[in-house]
Amino acid sequence: MNHKRVLRLAVTVAATGALAAGMTMTLTSTASAGTTLKASAAEKGRYFGAAVAGQKLSDSTYVTILNREFNSVVAENDMKWDATEPQQGRFNYTGGDRLVAHAQANGQSVRGHALLWYQQQPGWARDMSGSALRSAMMNHVTQVATHFRGKIHSWDVVNEAFADGNSGARRDSNLQRTGNDWIEAAFYAARAADPGAKLCYNDYNTDGINAKSTGIYNMVRDFKSRGVPIDCVGFQSHLGTSLSSDYQANLQRFADLDVDVQITELDVMSGGNQANIFAGVTRACMNVSRCTGITTWGVRDCDSWRGSDNALLFECSGNKKAAYTSVLNALNAGPAITPSPTTPGPTTPGPTTPPPTTPPPTTPPPGPEGCTASVSLNSWTGGFVASVKVTAGSAGTNGWNVSVTLPGGASVTNTWSATASGSTGTVRFANVNYNGRLAAGQVAEFGFQGTGSGAGMTPTCTAS
């Protein structure tokens, strides 16, 4: 008992110190004795989650474990592009809505997975390219994030966009071929659609400091320096028989970029080392104050995509494995996060959530004029997404403005890669700070979503 009081005092003192020092979070050493994964994680300011396959929600052994042990869920497949937009412009949220309803009824937060991924695209999207695909992809992000607005703790906005191996480069894909800015465009659109959700980049083979994780690190650093709205990075952590010694150091270097980090798809090859590896991952997360939660990719061994690897924490019967106990112990032994009041908590996006706007445009110096703009439309009944191409004239641009007159009854609801003035009638779109300066003939793209009909819009461009 005495022991407990001393520990409580330590937490208070450390928290006060952190506030005085102006820090947003600190770690304090506390022992605790939670008896479920979710309780032990919550005592330390974290969540513990599982990927859920929709059809398992009618399996009572499965659901009993899910609700007893996990306070976060992610759809294993039900929120992917092929599931949510099987035909272009026709959305199906049946599986996603069912999971959200389950989560809300059982006090679980929801991770959204995944708005854009080179895999699990519906056939119609796989067959697209160029600006048509860019429009379709932006529309997908906007529609899905809007549908689930206010219900998602964190979105995997972009999944697995980097190549394996030593290049540290982006992976080739139809999405990547629409232009290197596709990832930031997706983040801007997701922020506009659901300003309360944390927006994450998620990938695998990032289980230490290596070429791939460094490529991602450089992208996140660049995004943070330019104000692209990224809040978190997910480390899938599909692991084999060993854990890289710099696993924690890798999480920490991302955290030092001022993003949250999460372990998002944890599973580990069975065998002698499984329990140790699970514990090592858990300790690493606990030792990084910005590591806000751990998700295992499934509940029981027989629920796992890894089949005979027996890669999870529960046997098919529902019994806890040795790996379960090692994770629980590591949670209980770990330090707690003490967030300061100015940091939004893990479940309630607060008023400090960055606004859904694109970064302010720089004031361009006066200069030679000349640019053209063209618009391509993706319409459905009652709405549209417009993708606009700005092409610099022979003198190049320092900045540009595009004016568009909307048909009566139409209005702009979201804009990405430009700043809009007005939403009905004649709307003016100005460049943002990273796409105003164009060499002769160079192209910038921005887009906007609207309600009503967007038919017949003719953009005019002026350059400075």
Which is nearer to ligand G2I, 100 or 371 (by Cβ)?
A: 100
Q: How far is the CB of 165 from ligand G2I (least distance, A)?
A: 17
User: Is residue 265 annotated as a catalytic residue, yes or no?
Assistant: yes
Residue least distant from ligand G2I (Cβ)? 305
Residue 451: its H or E element: strand 443-451
Q: What is the dihedral of CA 419, 175, 453, 372, to 10 degrees?
A: 60
Which is nearer to ligand G2I, 246 or 309 (by Cβ)?
A: 309
Contact between 77 and ligand G2I (CB under 6 A)?
Answer: yes
Contact between 76 and ligand G2I (CB under 6 A)?
Answer: yes
Burial class of residue 127, CB neighbours in 10 A (0-12, 13-18, 19+): exposed
Q: How many residues bind ligand G2I (CB under 6 A)?
A: 9
Burial class of residue 294, CB neighbours in 10 A (0-12, 13-18, 19+): buried
Which is nearer to ligand G2I, 52 or 219 (by Cβ)?
A: 52
Which of 76, 160, 184, 445 is an active site residue?
Answer: 160
Indicate if the alpha-carbon torsion angle 304, 51, 187, 174 is positive or negative: positive
User: Is residue 43 annotated as a catalytic residue, yes or no?
Assistant: no
Q: Residue 73: helix, strand or coil by DSSP?
A: strand
Contact between 207 and ligand G2I (CB under 6 A)?
Answer: no
Q: Give the integer Cα–Cα distance in Å for 262 and 198.
A: 12
Contact between 84 and ligand G2I (CB under 6 A)?
Answer: no
Contact between 433 and ligand G2I (CB under 6 A)?
Answer: no
CB neighbourhood size of 19 (10 A): 15
Which tokens belong to 78?
A: 């039900």
CB-CB contact of 71 with 49 (8 Å): yes
- Name which position in 181, 265, 301, 445 contacts ligand G2I (CB under 6 A): 265
Q: Give the integer Cα–Cα distance in Å for 180 and 172.
A: 10
Which is nearer to ligand G2I, 95 or 346 (by Cβ)?
A: 95
Binding residues for ligand G2I restricted to 357-396, rule: CB under 6 A: none
DSSP E strand boundaries for 169-222: 198-203
Contact between 121 and ligand G2I (CB under 6 A)?
Answer: no
Is cis: bond before 169, omega within 30 of 0?
no
The residue type of 162 is F
Which is nearer to ligand G2I, 27 or 115 (by Cβ)?
A: 115
Contact between 118 and ligand G2I (CB under 6 A)?
Answer: no
Contact between 305 and ligand G2I (CB under 6 A)?
Answer: yes
Which of 69, 76, 184, 265 is an active site residue?
Answer: 265
Task: Break the chain down into helix, strand, coil percent, rounded to 5.
Answer: 30, 25, 40
Q: How far is the CB of 262 from ligand G2I (least distance, A)?
A: 14
Which is nearer to ligand G2I, 85 or 181 (by Cβ)?
A: 85
Contact between 236 and ligand G2I (CB under 6 A)?
Answer: yes
Q: How far is the CB of 77 from ligand G2I (least distance, A)?
A: 5
- Name which position in 24, 32, 61, 120 contacts ligand G2I (CB under 6 A): 120
The phi-psi region of residue 385 (left if phi > 0; otherwise alpha if psi is between -120 and 50; otherwise beta) is beta
Task: Enumerate binding residues for ligand G2I (CB under 6 A).
Answer: 76-77, 119-120, 159, 204, 236, 265, 305
Q: Active-site residue numbers? A: 160, 265
